[in-house]
Amino acid sequence: MELIKALYMYAAVVALLLCSSVNFIQSPSDVFGPVALVDPTPSAARDFGAVVTEAPVAIMRPGSAADVARLLAALSSAPGSPGRRPRARAAVSVAARGAGHSLHGQAQARGGIVVETRALPRAVEVSSRRDGGGAYADVGGGALWVEVLEECLRAGLAPRSWTDYLYLTVGGTLSNGGISGQAFKHGPQISNVLQLEVVTGTPPYACSSDPADFRFFFLSPFVWWKNVLIRRRKQGYGRSVTFVSFRLFLCSLSPSVAGTGEVVTCSPTQSPELFFAVLGGLGQFGIITRARIPLQVAPPKVRWVRAFYDSFETFTGDQELLVSMPELVDYVEGFMVLNEHSLRSSSVAFPAEVNFAPDFVSDDGGGKVYYCVEFAVHDFQRQDSASADHLVELVLRKLSYLRPHAYSVEVAYFDFLNRVRMEEESLRSRGLWDVPHPWLNVFVPSHGVAGFKDLLMGTVTQGEFEGPVLVYPLLTDRWDGNTSAVVPASPDGVMYVFSVLRSTDPARCGAACVEGILEEHRRVADEACRRLGAKQYLARQPSRAHWRDHFGGSGWDRFVARKARFDPMHILGPGQGIFLPRADSAAAS
């Protein structure tokens, strides 16, 4: 009995300390023992884009979804929650970071906490039938797609829809879209999910029975007194994070006081609103910790074809013809050939001899642009590839490319899907991988594709441009309108991906140069959205008004309603710049 009194006396002292003006902590790593926060590393403030740098106050490396849930539950009840008097900058935000391939700081959390999802269990569990029907894989949200592929291939199976680059996390691409040349046939990756496990920002306030929470009770006095004595401050977040620690402490006292956050299993039929909100939801509604992905029988080989064009109209016409033949073709992409560099770099991963030597000077002395259609046919004949060869010949006869410039090669299925890895290694060898990447990705309705090409070419110095410019069609009816992803309206159901993938050499393009490229891209995107009805993909909009325009009236209302339901404190996904944390917003008003 005396022990219980002492415990509650201790809790009262802690509550009194919370009301004081003292900031106790140096960093959240001092007080978050049960959820394993550590001091931030430089990588947490950097991403592949390398154009935004926003440092967190701590990093979390969760061992389970329950760890993430405890963190979000505690933060959801920190000062500034509904019913509390708001304090400026009281909220601590959380960003999920997978492989760090965001382009504009979307997985960063300035002054907040970065959850490194690669620390989650990454086991890939394949459930299959001999014919592949009904097969699926349960995969961790922090698993890389290349890890998923390797494990599934051991069972002769593979997911249907991919990204061009496989060293991205499952949770990362499902939070955005996930597109590649298979998307015209199977839809994006977000259209190929059976079930998700998600940790939301809405806690049920029911205490965990995890022993870690109870161990934390015994450690917390030492943590508290260490910080009271040292009285160190960290960016004004002390009391907020201290409050979170206090809730975790109280959880060890009473199961009715503090919560573990909500780990939800959802699907199109089970918690469907959360399921569709999270898919393409830009990390705003929850952190994906597990996904169930449908599988198909994997072909041993792929017949990979490239054909060249000197007319943009013919190039896009043939691409649309290809995507109208899903019974013959399994993959369709394409790219612009702007100069000798783009011709050479595009051949790095393509293991066929290409005897295409175009003249990049037009008759009037200006620059001449060429185009390349790329398609692939799955080859299920382990010994004899005659069937795939016949299909390729049949398809090529329907196309109007620059004869004889069509080239094909047979490669292993894994090597085909992993083709960008070779390009990565080439760029790394030249010091052009870990550099700023001011990329632009835009979805353009088919009626505006020529206009966007002209708009883009007005910003490009053709002879000096480095990096691929991908151009290929997708079908809008392969995108589920219930998800949070945004695609343009297109009367004929066809939209085009334009991906301008620059790598800037710091020796030739410094910070001012990179900012100039970004400004050009913003201008192009704004004009395309306004005049052509285009929508940006993987972008960080510059203002809330831009986000509202991006989603459209009803789409924006739905997005805001989902935020209110699944992350009412606006804790998640601060790097997108869509919502201010509730405390910040209240203080500002």
Task: Kindly state the tokens that stand for 333.
Answer: 């992409």
Judged on CB neighbours under 10 Å (0-12, 13-18, 19+), 344 is exposed
Q: Which of 100, 93, 33, 35 is nearest to 62 (CA)?
A: 35
Cα–Cα nearest to 142, from 114, 183, 180, 171: 171
**Which residue is catalytic, options 54, 333, 379, 423?**
333
Tokens of 85: 């008097």
End-to-end CA distance of the chain: 48
Locate 357 and state its tokens.
């030597």
Phi-psi region of 282 (alpha: psi -120 to 50; beta: other; left: phi over 0): left
What's the CA gap between 55 and 45, in Å, rounded?
5
Please check whether residue 266 is in contact with residue 277, taking contact to mean a CB–CB distance below 8 angstroms: no
Written as one letter, the residue type at 30 is D
Neighbours of 129 (CB within 10 A): 9
Beta bridge partners of 96: 115
d(CA 279, CA 275): 7
Rounded-to-integer distance, Cα 462 and Cα 338, Å: 6
What is the Cα–Cα distance from 561 to 284, expressed in whole angstroms?
12
As given in the structure block, the two tokens for residue 77 are 């009840």
Residue 458: C-alpha distances to residues 167, 254, 500 (Å):
33, 65, 13
67 among known catalytic residues: no
Between the CA atoms of 70, 74, 75 and 79, what dihedral angle is there, to the nearest 10 degrees? 180
| Paired tokens of 159 | 């997911």
- Short-list 546, 557, 515, 527, CA closest to 442: 527
Decide if 341 is catalytic.
Answer: no
Question: Three-class SS of residue 138?
Answer: strand
For residues 583 and 86, is the Cβ–Cβ distance under 8 A? yes
Q: Give the residue carrying structure tokens 């994070």.
A: 241
CA 348/CA 55 separation, integer angstroms: 36
**CB 468 within 8 Å of CB 345:** yes
What is the longest distance spanned by two Cα atoms in the chain? 96
- Report the C-alpha gap between 224 and 96 in whole angstroms: 28
> Which residues neighbour 441 within 8 Å (Cβ) at sequence distance 6 or greater?
497, 498, 499, 500, 536, 537, 538, 539
Task: Examine the residue annotation and report whether 374 is marked as an active-site residue of this protein.
Answer: no
Q: Which of 164, 415, 505, 527 is catalytic?
A: 164
**Phi, psi (rounded to 5 degrees) for 452:** -70, -40
**Cα radius of gyration (the chain):** 26
Chain center to CA of 404: 39
Catalytic residue selected from 30, 47, 67, 101: 101
Which amino acids are annotated catalytic?
A: 101, 164, 333
